[in-house]
Amino acid sequence: MKYDLVIYNAKIVTEEEVFLGYICVSDGKIAAMGSDAPVYEAAQSLDAKGMLLLPGAIDTHPHFFEPGAEAREDLEHGTQAAASGGFTTILDMPNTPEHPVLDLEAFALKQERAERKALIDYAFWGAATPKNIEQFVPLHKQGCVGFKAFTVYAGSNYPFSDEYSQLKEMEKVASFHGIFGAHAEDRTLVNGFSNEHKEEPWSLAVHDASRPWIAELTAINTLLLYAEKTGCKLHICHMSIPEGAERIASARRMGVDVTVETCAHYLTLNYQDQAYLGTFAMINPPLRSRDRMERLWKYVLDGTIDYLGTDHAPYLLSDKLPPDGDLRKAACGAPEIDVAIPLILEEGVRNRKMPLQRFAAFTSTNAAKRFGLYPRKGILAVGADADFYLVDMDTNWTYSRKNSFSASKLDKFAHEGRTFHCRIVSTWVRGNAVYRDGVIKQKPGYGRMIRPEWDSQKEKG
């Protein structure tokens, strides 16, 4: 048999083992793998020289701001940046500046944009707000992977969900066995603490004190209670606090069906060491203390925290430094999609001895399983889509956002100038390189929409 592509001499990470071997691709799927001397013919063959081959990363939490603020990030540049960062699939967030995914019309608009512009595979979150509950079922049937709610104010075009609405929305999502995702910060506590600190000059420490860990834990706690009562599958977005991981672990022991995501910034940045970044590191939930940052790692390493989401949200200088000088009005969020995987490889695998299989589960497999994409996505196995990336774990390079493929190149964010010892060399989606040696290799529109296959997942238990 003649294959389309063979990559050999690669350190391959599967669910069962890590081995030095080869991987063969036909028609965009993994057709063969092995560690013995391969016998093959291939149109294209590549010596990986012992580099790491990992299942394509799945971002459970990017914001591409399309439609509405394409100058910050759009689907074309955002998916290029994602590919350069090892991502092969994104689950795009619904709260776009214009036409958030509240109904089928907004879904169709985003789908049409992505079909023209995305370079990697994608699926969409739907909005969970008090005003679109009747749209959940049609959006679910259209292929939304989950429904995202905010428990705090999230802008005028995306109504937040108070406790009554959270309960009602979860009842509805549970009726079709869907996933309810939530940005978890208790609104009453955030308002109270923000008021308490409103006279102090703004700083990252004041930002944390205004939206403290107890506000996040309170919202998580309430959501866990409602998940228990409704039987709804719950996804906690971008958790920043170790205390939340402990509560989630104990809820799981009681049978609550909950998974949780964290972000590279909560594992590598804190309001103390990064105080100099000011509003450029202003994110919600806020960066926490150095101590909480370090304690969060325990739950990534032991598997309590299921996924890495980037919460990628680039902004322009005028968004981050409001013209009137009121730093409290600065936009919250930061870019991360091209550097999140190198950060976890560096700080997790290299510096904290995170096992490679745990890394693959955290960055890919767990999300594929939860969101109905497995076994098509999320693993290196015969029959899966040939989505993977090669990493050189023994190199030296300096990150700059000026070289990013992102739509906006503002370089005042964290990680600017950071030296890495691991580097993503190439990223492949369905057997074709999308990114290789610093160059984008596919055209906009190469990416495909992925519809979750809930039924086949159910059969596998």
Distance of closest approach, residue 453 Cβ to Zn ion, in angstroms: 25
- As a whole number of angstroms, the distance between CA 392 and CA 11 comes to 10
**By C-beta, is 10 or 281 nearer to Zn ion?**
281
Residue 287's alpha-carbon distances to 138, 199, 331, in angstroms, are: 37, 21, 15
Residue with tokens 């939490």: 61
Nearer to Zn ion, 155 or 355 (CB): 155
Sequence-distant (≥ 6) Cβ neighbours of residue 148 within 8 angstroms: 93, 94, 95, 125, 126, 127, 128, 181, 182, 183, 237
Judging by beta carbons within 10 Å of its beta carbon (0-12, 13-18, 19+), is residue 342 exposed, middle or buried? buried
Please give the Cα distance from 14 to 353 (Å, whole number): 18
- Closest distance of CB 283 from Zn ion, Å: 9
Nearest of 329, 251, 343, 264 to residue 296 by alpha carbon: 264
Residue 311 or 336: the one with the smaller Cβ distance to Zn ion is 311
Least distance from Zn ion to the Cβ atom of residue 405, Å: 20
CB of 61 to Zn ion, least distance (A): 6
For residue 92, state whether it binds Zn ion (rule: CB under 5 A).
no
CB 264 within 8 A of CB 310: yes
Given the complex with Zn ion, which of 66 and 311 has the nearer CB atom?
311
Q: How many CB atoms within 10 Å of residue 36? A: 7
| Residue among 283 and 425 whose Cβ is closer to Zn ion | 283
The CA-atom distances, in angstroms, between 177 and each of 59, 223, 368, 372 are 22, 16, 16, 12
Residue (38 or 244) nearer to Zn ion, CB: 244
Residue with tokens 């979750």: 452
Binding mask 308-347 for Zn ion (x = CB under 5 A): ---x------------------------------------
CB of 22 to Zn ion, least distance (A): 39
**Which residue, 186 or 336, has its beta carbon nearer to Zn ion?**
336
In whole angstroms, give the CA distance from residue 374 to residue 368: 5
Q: Is residue 207 left, alpha or beta, with left meaning phi > 0 and alpha meaning psi from -120 to 50?
A: alpha
Interacting positions 292-311 with Zn ion (CB under 5 A):
311
Burial of 460 (0-12, 13-18, 19+ CB in 10 A): exposed
- Quick check: 162 and 222 in contact, CB under 8 A? no
Cβ 148 to Zn ion shortest distance, Å: 8
- Which lies closer to Zn ion via its Cβ, residue 99 or residue 436? 99
Nearest residue (CB) to Zn ion, 38 versus 159: 159
CB of 176 to Zn ion, least distance (A): 24
Sign of CA dihedral 309, 315, 321, 323: negative
Closest contact distance (angstroms) between CB of 72 and Zn ion is 13
In the 8-state DSSP scheme, what is residue 428? Answer: E
CA distance 364 to 393: 19
Polymer length in residues for the chain? 461
The answer to whether 120 touches 84, Cβ cutoff 8 Å, is: no
Find the residue with minimal CB distance to Zn ion. 311
C-alpha pair distances (Å), 380 with each of 33, 355, 357, 366, 387: 9, 16, 11, 13, 8
Minimum CB separation of residue 321 from Zn ion in Å reads: 21
For Zn ion, which is the closer residue by CB, 208 or 385? 208
Task: Please state the closest distance from residue 63 (CB atom) to Zn ion, in A.
Answer: 6
Q: Distance (Å, rounded) from C-alpha 444 to C-alpha 80?
A: 9
Total of chain residues touching Zn ion, rule CB under 5 A: 1
* CB-nearer residue toward Zn ion: 185 or 311: 311
Q: Least distance from C-beta 205 to Zn ion, angstroms? A: 22
Q: Where does this chain bind Zn ion (CB under 5 A)?
A: 311
